[in-house]
Amino acid sequence: MSDSDLKSGALGLVSVVMQGVTHIAPAIAILLTVQFITAEAGLAAPLSYLIAVLIVLILGVVLTQLAKHFPSAGGYYTYVSRSVHPRAGFLVSWLYFFYSPIFVGVILAAVGSIVHDELLAQYGFNLPWWAFLLAGVALIGVLSYRGVEISVKTMVAMGLIEIGLVVLLGFWGLFDPGSGGVNFDSFNPANASSANGLYLGVVFSIFAITGWEAAAAMGEESEDPRRNVPRGIVGSLLIVGVFLIFTAWAFQIGWGTNDIAGFIESEELPPLVLAHQYWGGLWILLLLAAVNSAVAGGIAYTNVATRMWYAMARSGSLPRQLAHIHPRYKTPTVAIAVEIVLTTAVALFMGFLIGPFEEFVFFGIALTFALVFIYGSANLGVFLYYRRERRSEFNPILHLLFPLLGTAALLWVAYKTVNPFPESPNNWAPIVIGIWLALGVLILLVMRSRGKEEWLLRAGQVAAEELPAREEAIEHRPPLV
């Protein structure tokens, strides 16, 4: 990676896999979604997770077809710019604003509200959610600044701790089950609340798994990125997929499958209820798992956002200052600083405006629509790239059928998210995404009319390729805007 200033070769396969795992934030993914998905799908909630994992695996396999050829810090920005068109790559990065750059603070705010409620109820200690947010952001900023190796080692350790604690609680439920005993009724579609409920459960389960693609952004800091990044994408999906399916099932067993109504109606998150029941005073370990998940996920989100901004600044589509690399730590320090300030400001503003947990739901809905465009663009890119430039390697299943199936599933998810339309304030989420996308298109139109698109020729820059060949390929592509 001769033209990258990042610390190439710093991350092994385990680190790349855990980048994807922690970006999903598995402990938070199950703690904050299992009750809601059970309310939609009923006893068949674990089946919803299973179907969602199979759908997302298709998307993951498709993405590996680009990751193995384009090892870049830009991730989706580079993949779509290189395979579809730089303008499409710009729009992907434009929509990514609602993803990694924002979600660090959003997750910390949501977990901060849970920590506040639990500590106040159990010990009478009042820790404001915003104080938790500020402390978490500061820790993530320091670790990200000090170098990718330190941040990733911390992320790996914390990720393993959170997974271990939640899985332990799941096994506890199997060894001490509630009413109904150990059974596999949760995987029988006939036990779903309704067909539509099962569909909605799958939709929100897909959101719970979001983040698996984060390994792509570590392409310039990974050992053997053409091999490790694709394995990291699929590996993180498999690990978190098994984790979510198992723990959702085990929590239902521990609660009692004969009392799913009580599981749905519980005022306290059911996994926390089980932790109190099984572990007594050590229930706080599960709360620590959630805190671990928030911090480890925040590191992963920061890695993705700042590496994408670094790649965009290097190509000229963002201010060059964002490509500044610390001479000792080899981290994009300006990008990290901007990321920390941005995510803190948005999380505090939305948290005080609609509530810290409510903002998690709001941005989750907004993110769903953004990801339909982002993932769908990569699916199109796989087909175009292998038809244009690697026809001898074209595989009808990998490069045509899987992208079509994945895109169809994404459109179905988007439809189910707005049918019925969300209530206020979440009804604004798809509207905000639509306005933001239109603004991105307007920027491209203005730049094209003024003849200031030279930076687009470098938008798909990959260090392992020769620039003249890329420019020639880009110039002969039909314009999308």
Residue 76 is predicted with a pLDDT of 81
Residue 217 is predicted with a pLDDT of 64
Q: Which residues contact 436 (CB under 8 A, 6 or more apart)?
A: 94, 95, 97, 98
Task: Kindly state the DSSP code that residue 281 receives in the 8-state scheme.
Answer: G
Assigned token pair, 268: 């306290």
Q: pLDDT digit string (tens) for 316-343?
A: 777 888 888 878 777 888 999 999 999 9
Residue 210 is predicted with a pLDDT of 82
The mean pLDDT value for 126-155 works out to 86
CB 374 within 8 A of CB 217: no
The mean pLDDT value for 86-114 works out to 88
Residue 144 is predicted with a pLDDT of 85
Low-confidence winner among 144-148, 217-221, 472-476 (lowest mean pLDDT)? 472-476
Residue 453 is predicted with a pLDDT of 67
Residue 381 is predicted with a pLDDT of 95
Q: What's the rounded Cα separation, in Å, for the pair 105 and 103?
A: 5
Residue 77 is predicted with a pLDDT of 80
Q: Convert 397-422 into a string of H (helix), E (strand) and C (coil).
A: HHHHHHHHHHHHHHHHHHHHHHCCCC
222: three-class secondary structure by DSSP: strand
Nearest to 33 by CA among 23, 17, 46, 22: 46
Q: What's the rounded Cα separation, in Å, for the pair 133 and 119?
A: 15
The mean pLDDT value for 119-142 works out to 93
Low-confidence winner among 67-76, 158-167, 187-196, 464-473 (lowest mean pLDDT)? 464-473
Share of the chain above pLDDT 90, in %: 48
Query: What confidence tier does 154 reach under pLDDT thresholds 50, 70, 90?
Result: confident
- pTM of the predicted structure, to 2 decimals: 0.85
Q: pLDDT digit string (tens) for 344-399?
A: 999 999 999 999 989 988 988 888 888 899 999 999 999 999 999 999 999 999 99
Residue 73 is predicted with a pLDDT of 56
The larger pLDDT score, comparing residue 451 to residue 133, is at 133
Residue 415 is predicted with a pLDDT of 87
CB 397 within 8 A of CB 374: no
**Which of 32-41, 153-162, 456-465 has the highest mean predicted lDDT (pLDDT)?**
32-41
- Write down how long the chain is: 481
Q: What's the rounded Cα separation, in Å, for the pair 16 and 22?
A: 10
The larger pLDDT score, comparing residue 77 to residue 31, is at 31
Whether the per-residue pLDDT at 27 is higher than 50: the answer is yes
Query: What confidence tier does 151 reach under pLDDT thresholds 50, 70, 90?
Result: low
The mean pLDDT value for 273-281 works out to 95
The mean pLDDT value for 167-177 works out to 96
Q: pLDDT digit string (tens) for 399-430?
A: 999 999 999 998 988 888 787 777 888 889 88
Residue 266 is predicted with a pLDDT of 94
Share of the chain above pLDDT 70, in %: 88
The mean pLDDT value for 18-44 works out to 90
Whether the per-residue pLDDT at 6 is higher than 60: the answer is no
Residue 376 is predicted with a pLDDT of 93
The mean pLDDT value for 301-319 works out to 79
β-bridge partners, 222: 11
The mean pLDDT value for 241-254 works out to 96
The mean pLDDT value for 86-108 works out to 86
Taking each helix axis as running N to C, give the angle between helix 76-83 and helix 284-315, from 0 to 180 degrees, rounded to the nearest 10.
Answer: 40
CA–chain centroid gap for 8, Å, is 23
Residue 21 is predicted with a pLDDT of 87
Q: What's the rounded Cα separation, in Å, for the pair 460 and 67?
A: 13
Query: What confidence tier does 218 reach under pLDDT thresholds 50, 70, 90?
Result: low
Taking each helix axis as running N to C, give the angle between helix 195-209 and helix 402-418, from 0 to 180 degrees, rounded to the nearest 10.
Answer: 110
How many Cβ atoms from other residues are within 10 Å of residue 458's Cβ?
19
